[in-house]
Amino acid sequence: MNEAMTQGVELMFTGMGIVFLFLVMLIGVVKLMAYCVMTFFPDAEIVPASASPKQTASTNGVTPAITAAITAAVHQHRAKR
């Protein structure tokens, strides 16, 4: 039992070490890529991933009449229950 426990702990630390090294390398590569982009493309506009254009009725193709029809259908369905 003691030998199995020792092997288990050894395997756990080996796995955690590999994951830690991978994450450190990943951070290094991301920082290197950021440095390269800023060096070779200093005037590039950086747009955050969360910045998306707001969808309006004209951009998504849903007219107010369609919205009213969907709303009425949902209301009628809920009223039947």
Q: How many Å apart are CA 18 and CA 12, to the nearest integer?
A: 10
Q: What are phi and psi of 61, to 5 degrees?
A: 80, 10
pTM for the model: 0.50
61 in the Ramachandran plot: left (φ > 0), alpha (ψ -120 to 50) or beta?
left
Q: How many Å apart are CA 24 and CA 28, to the nearest integer?
A: 6
Averaged pLDDT in 10-residue chunks for the chain of 81 residues: 93 98 98 92 72 54 88 93 79
Q: State which amino acid sits at residue 66.
A: I
Q: What's residue 26's pLDDT?
A: 98
Contact (Cβ atoms closer than 8 angstroms) between residue 57 and residue 63:
yes
Q: What's residue 55's pLDDT?
A: 46
Q: What's residue 1's pLDDT?
A: 77
